[in-house]
Structure formats: structure tokens, C-alpha cells
Amino acid sequence: MFTIIGERINTTLGKVKKAVENRDAEYIIQDVKKQTQCGATYIDVNAGARIGHEKEDMKWLLKIVQEATDLPLCLDSPDPLILEMAYALVDKTPLVNSISLEKERFDSMMPFIEGKKCKIIALCMDDSGMPKTSEDIINRAKTIVAELEKIGMKRDDIFVDPLIQPMSVENNNGTMAMDAVKAIMSDLKGVHTTGGLSNISYGLPKRKIINRNFLLMMMANGFDSAIMDPLDKDIMAALKTGEMLAGHDDYCMNFLKSVRAGDIEA
């Protein structure tokens, strides 16, 4: 089944940042409960926006979020020390966001990951910058998966992020991501693919319809996870329909259940 990483508890979002600043636990609790009810698989927790406060904000958020849901968390920080602290505070196997092939991040994250019970998001980024072709993405994916396997990570615990880039920047960014995902899911059997879905529509109007259509096209190429908003009813309807059409919904039961509940409308 498709893995939904609920993206809403992120202090780059104005309302979340304000709630964290004011220690408004009820706002966070209600949002997390809604994400849980709407079908999230993981709740992403990112406290990085308030410079100088990430550690204390992350500790507070982890306590509040875990009181509001039984779902596992996605620990989201560029700082391995924050991730180490957060890892010690979670009570379910987390998804860690993230490692890349950039030397500084790779060298600091590998010791953190080794020996830990966790899943990992692996970015197809290296010191040369963002990938420019699908071949760049595929080669980087193969390299980072091989490195993670060397320290005992199982492929089922690796979520490869092809780094979805905006269509407003380059006409081929959509097909580049789709081609890369198709090859990764074929050549690296057992891994997962994920990414920030809404990156594709950055800088364009009518972003939600772009995101919905792109999700279905990515799913047709094997994409099996996304960092997305589970409260967006239309994209969740597209996801459930796509799962059904791809043959991942036995006897269409999840689709039919969603239709009866009013979650999927004409």
C-alpha cells in the first residue's frame, strides 16, 4: 500500500510556527488527529524554522504529537544531533529524513544510522548539486542504496527521494522524475520511492490539480510513497483511485469504502 508521510507539522508553515512559539498544544493535537483520521502512514515532524530553538521545539512537538496519535513519526531535520535526540524520544520505529551523498551530510549521518532500528529517506543529491537527468538520479540512487546496505540497512527500510523539481523551472522535470522512479523501482527491487509531491507545481497557478495529476503519473511508474497533505480530500481521492486502478486494492474494497464515506465524489 502507498505510504503517506503527512507533511503538516512543520514550523515553516505559519500556523504551526505560531502554535509552537505559543506552546499551543491543542492546535497541534487536532491537526495530528485529522491527519491520522485521513489516512496518514507517518506524521512528519520538522521544527527547524525557529533558528536557535530547534532542539527545544522538537522535544515539545514529539511529546505532543505522540500523545495525539499511534502512528510512527518521520523525524525531519538537517542536524544529526537533533535526529539523535529525537530518535531517543520516539516509541515506534521512525522514518528518518534524511541522508544524501553530499560528503558532509553523508559522513555525519552514516554513524547515526548504523545499528539503529529505523527507516531512512535517501536523497539523490551529491556535492555536484541537484540532478540534471534521470541518469543522474538513478546512478545516485544505486550508490546510496549500496552504501546503506553495507551498514545493514534492508531495502524495505530505504525510501529513495529522486528530488522532484518544479515544472516552472524546466520542461523535463516531470518526465525526469517519472523515468527515474521507474528505473529505480525496477533496478533496485525492494526499495521504496518518495518525495515532496508539491515541489512539481512550485511557481505555477492551480497547484492542487497539478499535484493530483502528477501523483497519478508517478504512481503509474512505481512511486509508492509521498510527502503530502492527507487533509487534501481531492488528492486523497486521486490516490485511492490510483491504488485501485493499479491493482493494489483487492476487489476495490478501499475505493468502495471511500465512495460510501463520501471521500470520493464525482
Whether 159 and 120 have beta carbons less than 8 Å apart is answered as yes
**Phi, then psi, of 94 in degrees rounded to 5:** -90, 165
Are 119 and 92 spatial neighbours (Cβ–Cβ below 8 Å)? Answer: no
Q: Where are the domains of the chain?
A: 3-260
In the chain the first and final C-alpha atoms are separated, in Å, by 24
CA-closest candidate to residue 148, choices 160, 137, 136 = 160
Can you give the pLDDT of all 266 residues of the chain as single tens digits?
899 999 999 999 999 999 999 999 999 999 999 999 999 999 999 999 999 999 999 999 999 999 999 999 999 999 999 999 999 999 999 999 999 999 999 999 999 999 999 999 999 999 999 999 999 999 999 999 999 999 999 999 999 999 999 999 999 999 999 999 999 999 999 999 999 999 999 999 999 999 999 999 999 999 999 999 999 999 999 999 999 999 999 999 999 999 999 999 87
pTM comes to 0.96
Q: Which amino acid is at 27?
A: Y
SS3 content of the chain, % helix, strand, coil (to 5): 50, 15, 35
CATH superfamily, domain at 3-260: Dihydropteroate synthase-like (3.20.20.20)
